[in-house]
Structure 1
Amino acid sequence: MAQMNYEEGAGLGKYGHGIIDPIKPTIKYGKGGIGKFESPYDSDSNYDMGPPAEPELERGTGEAEPEAIVDAEEVRAMDTLQRECEAYAAARARERHHEKVRAYNMRGQRPPKHDTAAADDWEGITSGYTAIKRALKVVRGQSESGKLTLGGLIHEFAGVKAKFPEEYRTNRMPYKAISFAAPLLHSRLSRQYNASEYGGTEPLLNRTLVMVEALKDMLGADTSAAYPRLIHDLVMAPPLDAWRWRAEEPKPMLRFINRWKGLLPQATMDSILDEVILPELVAAADVFRLTTWSCKPSVCVGTWIPHLGHARLRIVYIIISRRLRDRLCGGISDYDYRLALPWKKVFDPMSWDEHIKRHVLPHMRKALHDLEISVRMTWLQNNNFFPLVMRWASIVPVKYMVPLLIQGFFKKWMYANYRYLMGERPRLDEAMAWSMEAIPTSQFQSSVVAVVDV
């Protein structure tokens, strides 16, 4: 070991690259196989193989976030970009090698067999201005010849930025990089559009996203005003009718918004929200069956609240309120209550108050106006809408419900108590029992106490 130049604490091998930590054996049960599933090698054996190992499950919501989903096309685009960078670097190394060989031949010298300096991109360059001038010359030449790729452009400009960051910024290199990148990105998308490959936002998600992320990483904090314009033209290039998506299936568009929100300028995001998403929601609210929407209100409208906000969605709330109003033409019912209940969580408080005040309260007021309370009545009569009124109370604001009950119910209830006490002269326990049994539910009995306190 000493003759092999072994040092204490190092691993075995010529360069000390062997493992240092001791091997930890894993105990296997009898007849257990070796592999991922540890299946036994003798399935007919009667030996006890022990309990199978249970896979450890990661804790989570059970559903991947839209930002965490990586499409196969995105992986393919990453590989393409990486191959373009490697091919560009190899081509530039060959060009430098040929230039050095030509220089040696012109001097009548023999070039060295192993010239490691040819792999250095910055050999003999100490000035940032010289490096920028050379990079622009190379990129411009490849662009004119049609050989420039986005990976090669990123490789060239990223090298200049890493070597000479101050000169890179003062010479407005990000603006020049965007001017070269714009035709490349537009040509890639135009080929997809012309080949009828455009299916909603998929080409933007699958291919262009990777390229734009790499471009923005290269620009960094030096992004000029040309970058927002480039992204706006790139994303909004297809006609608006090409954004094929359905309001009842928002996941594709939500995925697009979540993946691009860190790259899109605010003006472009506003254009997508105002010109693509909001018109579709408005049209869907006016055309779709209300029952279809009410099953999943959070999917139809609620998922867009973080992106659109209540101010933009107010026009959708007005349309939904009108559809709910049309259902109430015959008066309040249990079915109408189930339709309206999910929308309370979607509407903003001001829109919901307006909907209740304009379309629901008149029907509740009429139901209480027609209510007759007597000793012989029952709360389950066909013409008695009071239980429905109390069910609607769960979604009606308190500022409307309390005055409504005071005017429409409690005066009649107190007068019925007065006539019962003065007419039939019941015992005290009978009077107390009727006055509380007249109230249909224990939930409403607690409401009685609360309203009396008010």
Structure 2
Amino acid sequence: MEDDGEAFEIDDRDLEYALDPTKRFQRRQTKDQQIYGIWADNDEEDQRPGFSLGSSAKLSKGVSFVSGGLANEPKDEEHEARPQKRPRMDQPSFSGGLHQGFAGLRSSGPDWAQNSGKNSVIMGMMKKMGYVEGKGLGAKKHGILEPIIPSVRQGRGAVGAYGKEASAVGPKFGETAAQAQAREQGGTTREPASEYVPRKGGWKKEKKNTIQYKTLDEVLAEDDITVIGTSASMKIIDMTGPQQKVYNDFQSFSRKSKAAAFDGQERRKFDIPELTQNINMLLDLTEEEIKRNDRQIKLLKDQNKSLDADCQQIRKTIIDEDEEMKRLQEVLDVVKEFSNSQNQTLSACKKLLLRLRREYEMEYKMYGLDAIALTNAMPMLREYFNDWNPLKLGYADHGMNLIKEWREVLQGESREMKRSFDRHKNELDALPAFDRCLWEAWMPAIRQAALKWDVKMDSDRMLDVVLTWMPILPDWIVDNLLEQVIAPRIKEQVDAWSPTVDEIPIHSWLLPWHSVLGHRLTAVYPIIRMKLAKSLKEWIATDSSAIGVVRPWKDVFAKSSMSSFLSNNIIPKLEQALLHMNLNPLENFEYPEFFAVINWTEIIGTDLTCQMMMRCFFPRWLDNLCLWLNTPGVILSDVARYYKEWRERFPANLAAIPSIKMEFQRALNLISQAKQNLPIQLTPVAPASQQPPLQFFAPPSARTAAIGSLRELIEMRAQAMGVVFMPVRNRLEHGKQVYQLGNIQILFDRDLLIAYNSNVRQWEPVTVDYALELAVNS
């Protein structure tokens, strides 16, 4: 059926119209609307059903199929033409230039439009786009006037294979399309082909074309190259430039190539731009290849230079290694000579090491040749010190000169250098040779002597040995000697010391080690204070022997520890002695209690002595003086002599204290009142003149307020009770430091006190008072 016909079968549109009848009256697009779209002429009345004139008559009229003309035009049955089939566009008409039109098609417009099947449609489209009959195409009307006529080529060869492509209609180089058509119309026009060339595969057998070969010179010599064959329409993709371009035929591609290659120059007869492009590409590739080869050559030259330098370095290294091997062989010969000799003594070994160090210094340091001393000299040194008793009188410096000589022989060695060349099995192998000789030859004799050492009786001899050898011993050996040998023996003796039984005072054999051991004795000092405090419980103030026991520790104990010790053990005894001292001059002539306090002044200090006098002596002394002056028949000269005697008993440093001066001034005022027969009345000290008492140790309330942690509280209470409180060395429990509190062990976890219960063998939280009770009574 035609395009405007309607099918009779039921389709989706009919179903849609059945559901919505209003859609059936919606008018379909016209032919112009289908072709031109929004640029078609629209008739508003035609678009709305029921407004067009004669619509009812047209709908009721029967269907008539016509190919053109007016619908109401009277028809002539004799001249009525049957519609003809539209010819194919790819088959040209060979009618000698006569145009055959279709039935009902008007013969208006140019010839090229009449040769087509839809002249009116084509002309209408072109006129709407601005085309004017008789003028060229384009906005300025300077385009072509006639359509491009295809040129038939003889075969399917490449462009230029059948001669010059000049027979085709088209512009030449430098002319417009209109000029080209004017030239074609004005000049000789090509006669259309009189024969029909059948398509390939038709019933007529094609003639076999003969191929004629010509040389390049013959082709260039020809004036005109005819094009043979049929012009085929195909797509040409040009990828010779920076961007890909597509052409529809060879003529367009040839015009582009020639215009680019011969801009402003004379065109050659045989011109193939593809060949030029290929040659340029080959030149570029060749140039890149040349550059790449040049880079490779330079790289190879640099590699050759580097290899030459490496070869020279390797040759130099080989020569150096040969020299080193020769020197090592010489060293090996010297060592073998010494090992094979029968005279292997300390002096011979020393000469060997000195020779190796002098003649082969680099090998001596690099390969650790001092290890020879470990295998040869160390056994002889061990035998030399085997029978040595350091505590024997006059043998403290035995072998010192020998050790000094070996120190000069083995000095200059660094442990790090030896570590870099040796494969050590244990820590002893990492030691320098001199240190290891001392450790394995000298130290065993010292340890053996320390086991037999009587700390009380032979303390000076052992101290002499240590002080004699310390300057030449390495630091780590000195630390090991003091911490692992001397300090444990001293602590063991301190634990067994009893202040009331031992005849030899502890300070006589312990204090000389204070400057040598230093902080290593901090563990024994709390034990000494605790034992001194226990022995002073039965002590009376008039016994001066305690002064000799306490005085040596004044500068040894820390100030805070010494102050706590005196405040808890000495001062209370002295105050009690002053309070109970008999001040009657007729009954007490020597006053030993007073002089006992004066003797302790150098230890406890003048400030604390003054406070004791102001609290315990002067109030009783002034009261006794008032009572004496109020006695009837008192002899004032005796009172004055009594006053003068007491004034002279005070040392100058105490008498110069203002508070003591004031008390003596009050006594003079009482005597003056007695001379003037005035009532004896002790004048109180004015509040303004009163000074706060000097305190040697803070009162308990202030001390308690200053406590910042539970550990400080325990330390203060332990000092007051004379209980040992000290950290246990190298002992941790649950990551907390363990302390020794008297007879128990404790630790602190924040504000919690935890003690070790030996009965159940576990740690338990306790109170401070219970812990102190266990520390004393456990």
Normalising by structure 2, we get a TM-score of 0.35
Give, in whole Å, the separation in 2 of the partners of 1:345 and 1:407.
25
8 Å contact kept, 1:297–1:346: no
How far does the alpha carbon of each residue in 1:135-165 deviate from its partner, in whole angstroms, 9 at most, with x for none? Answer: 4543356458886332222111212333454
- Aligned twin of 1:162: 358
Q: Does 1:151 align with 2:358?
A: no
- Aligned twin of 2:599: 391
Give, in whole Å, the separation in 2 of the partners of 1:393 and 1:377.
26
**Cα distance change of structure 1 residues 451 and 278 upon mapping to structure 2, 3 Å threshold:** farther
**Cα distance change of structure 1 residues 277 and 353 upon mapping to structure 2, 3 Å threshold:** farther
Letter in 2 for 1:448: A
Q: Secondary structure at the match of 1:394?
A: helix
Q: Does 1:228 align with 2:432?
A: no
**Cα distance change of structure 1 residues 286 and 346 upon mapping to structure 2, 3 Å threshold:** farther
Letter in 2 for 1:436: K
Q: Does 1:313 align with 2:509?
A: no
Q: How many residues align?
A: 316
The one of 567, 579, 582 equivalent to 1:369 is 579
Give, in whole Å, the separation in 1 of the partners of 2:443 and 2:477.
8
Give, in whole Å, the separation in 2 of the partners of 1:402 and 1:129.
86
Q: Does 1:237 align with 2:441?
A: no
8 Å contact kept, 1:297–1:342: no
Q: Does 1:262 align with 2:452?
A: no
How far does the alpha carbon of each residue in 1:322-355 deviate from its partner, in whole angstroms, 9 at most, with x for none? Answer: 4443443142333423542652467345354443
**Cα distance change of structure 1 residues 172 and 376 upon mapping to structure 2, 3 Å threshold:** same
Letter in 2 for 1:401: T
Give, in whole Å, the separation in 1 of the partners of 2:647 and 2:492.
45
Give, in whole Å, the separation in 2 of the partners of 1:387 and 1:284.
35
Q: Shift in Å at residue 216 of structure 1?
A: 0.7
Letter in 1 for 2:655: V
Letter in 2 for 1:292: E
Q: Does 1:356 align with 2:566?
A: yes
Letter in 2 for 1:249: D
8 Å contact kept, 1:371–1:385: yes
The one of 305, 321, 343 equivalent to 2:552 is 343
The one of 200, 212, 218 equivalent to 2:409 is 218
Give, in whole Å, the separation in 1 of the partners of 2:602 and 2:332.
69
How far does the alpha carbon of each residue in 1:387-439 deviate from its partner, in whole angstroms, 9 at most, with x for none? Answer: 22222223323453332232222333344344445666978766553333235
Give, in whole Å, the separation in 1 of the partners of 2:325 and 2:515.
47
Q: Shift in Å at residue 278 of structure 1?
A: 2.2
Give, in whole Å, the separation in 2 of the partners of 1:424 and 1:280.
70
Q: Shift in Å at residue 285 of structure 1?
A: 3.6
Q: Secondary structure at the match of 1:347?
A: coil
The one of 442, 446, 450 equivalent to 2:657 is 450
Letter in 2 for 1:182: M
- Aligned twin of 1:292: 503
Q: Shift in Å at residue 238 of structure 1?
A: 5.6
Give, in whole Å, the separation in 2 of the partners of 1:219 and 1:241.
26
Q: Shift in Å at residue 218 of structure 1?
A: 1.0
- Aligned twin of 2:709: none
Give, in whole Å, the separation in 2 of the partners of 1:387 and 1:260.
47
Letter in 1 for 2:511: G
Q: Does 1:407 align with 2:615?
A: yes
Give 1 or 2: higher helix fraction. Answer: 1
Letter in 1 for 2:413: D
Q: Which runs of 5+ in 2 are unaligned?
A: 1-322, 416-430, 661-693, 695-778
Q: Secondary structure at the match of 1:385?
A: helix
Give, in whole Å, the separation in 2 of the partners of 1:136 and 1:423.
111
- Aligned twin of 1:181: 377
The one of 378, 383, 393 equivalent to 2:588 is 378
The one of 266, 273, 284 equivalent to 2:482 is 273
Q: Shift in Å at residue 168 of structure 1?
A: 3.8
Give 1 or 2: higher strand fraction. Answer: 2
The one of 499, 507, 510 equivalent to 1:301 is 510
Give, in whole Å, the separation in 2 of the partners of 1:324 and 1:255.
28
- Aligned twin of 1:108: none
8 Å contact kept, 1:353–1:397: no
How far does the alpha carbon of each residue in 1:39-93 deviate from its partner, in whole angstroms, 9 at most, with x for none? Answer: xxxxxxxxxxxxxxxxxxxxxxxxxxxxxxxxxxxxxxxxxxxxxxxxxxxxxxx
Give, in whole Å, the separation in 2 of the partners of 1:151 and 1:128.
28
8 Å contact kept, 1:200–1:242: yes
Q: Shift in Å at residue 304 of structure 1?
A: 1.6
Give, in whole Å, the separation in 2 of the partners of 1:446 and 1:250.
39
Q: Shift in Å at residue 261 of structure 1?
A: 0.8
**Cα distance change of structure 1 residues 186 and 375 upon mapping to structure 2, 3 Å threshold:** closer
Q: Shift in Å at residue 242 of structure 1?
A: 4.5
The within-5 A match list for 1:43-54 is none
Q: Shift in Å at residue 308 of structure 1?
A: 1.0
Letter in 2 for 1:308: L
8 Å contact kept, 1:200–1:245: no
Give, in whole Å, the separation in 1 of the partners of 2:337 and 2:575.
80
Q: Shift in Å at residue 270 of structure 1?
A: 1.9
- Aligned twin of 2:334: 138
Q: State the identity as a percent.
A: 18
Letter in 2 for 1:237: P
Give, in whole Å, the separation in 2 of the partners of 1:223 and 1:398.
57
Give, in whole Å, the separation in 2 of the partners of 1:207 and 1:387.
52
Give, in whole Å, the separation in 2 of the partners of 1:286 and 1:253.
20
**Cα distance change of structure 1 residues 377 and 400 upon mapping to structure 2, 3 Å threshold:** same
Higher relative contact order (CA 8 A, sep 6+): 1
The within-5 A match list for 1:431-446 is 431-438=639-646, 441=649, 443=651, 446=653
Give, in whole Å, the separation in 2 of the partners of 1:400 and 1:144.
80
How far does the alpha carbon of each residue in 1:162-186 deviate from its partner, in whole angstroms, 9 at most, with x for none? Answer: 3454554344444554565334433
Q: Which runs of 5+ in 1 are unaligned?
A: 1-126
Q: Secondary structure at the match of 1:378?
A: coil
Letter in 1 for 2:514: I
Q: Secondary structure at the match of 1:438?
A: helix
How far does the alpha carbon of each residue in 1:249-308 deviate from its partner, in whole angstroms, 9 at most, with x for none? Answer: 2233123212321222222212221232223333334445656323x944x123222211
8 Å contact kept, 1:327–1:336: no
* RMSD (CA atoms): 4.0
